[in-house]
Amino acid sequence: MILEMLAIGLVASAFLAVYLEEAVYSVASLGCTFTLISILYFLRDAAFVAVFQISVGVGMLAVLFLSGDMLSEKPSEKKPLWKTLLAALATVTLSLPPIFFFTATPPTAVFPDVLFAQALWNLRSIDIVLQGLVMLTVSLGIAIVLHEKRESVG
């Protein structure tokens, strides 16, 4: 039951990270997404991957919080809270059927002798390296934009 609750929270926080217009709230939702992914990794006995995920996520969030606050325009009109809550409720409702109906039977393992933590590092190593590369690229891009903005102001 805890995995289902984490999955619902993960889908809802990822949706809110994209849906919210205020940069700070969007980044906070992204932080919630990183944290829930880390908890899922930890529950699957991949503690090292969980620590890696949360540490990379925290560094990325620090950069996004600073740049989002400095570079983003404040929305001229605010969305009513009920619209955001309605969108979050729709997200949770749409995520329920796949979580409860398609995970009832365990999937057949392609590699039955491989543990989850080993699969993350051995079978998905390229994916993890690319995730870090994307985060590095975003951080460097934001640093360049902030540098250019500082030079144009000063």
Measure the CA–CA gap between 49 and 51, rounded to whole angstroms.
5
- The per-residue DSSP string of 65-90 comes to HHHHHHHSPPPSSPPPHHHHHHHHHH
What is the crossing angle of helices 47-71 and 23-43, to 10°?
A: 180
Q: What is the pLDDT of residue 154?
A: 62
Sole residue written with tokens 């620590």: 51
With bands split at pLDDT 50, 70 and 90, how would you rate the model's confidence at 130?
A: confident
Provide the 10 A C-beta neighbour count for residue 62. 13
Q: Who's near 8: CB < 8 A, 6+ residues apart?
A: 92, 95, 96, 99
Q: What is the pLDDT of residue 124?
A: 66
User: What percentage of the chain reaches a pLDDT higher than 70?
Assistant: 74
| More confident: 110 or 89 | 89
50-83, pLDDT tens digit by residue? 888 888 777 777 777 777 666 666 666 777 778 8
Q: What is the pLDDT of residue 141?
A: 77
Which stretch, 29-43, 59-73, 88-102, has highest mean pLDDT? 29-43
- 115-to-39, 45, 57, 120, 128 alpha-carbon distances in Å: 17, 9, 24, 9, 17
Q: Is the pLDDT of residue 107 over 60?
A: no
Fold of 2-153: Four Helix Bundle (Hemerythrin (Met), subunit A) (1.20.120)
- 50-to-60, 91, 108 alpha-carbon distances in Å: 15, 25, 24
With bands split at pLDDT 50, 70 and 90, how would you rate the model's confidence at 10?
A: confident
pLDDT, averaged across the chain: 76
Query: pTM of the predicted model, to two decimals?
Result: 0.61
Q: Is the pLDDT of residue 31 over 80?
A: yes
With bands split at pLDDT 50, 70 and 90, how would you rate the model's confidence at 28?
A: confident
Q: What is the pLDDT of residue 102?
A: 60
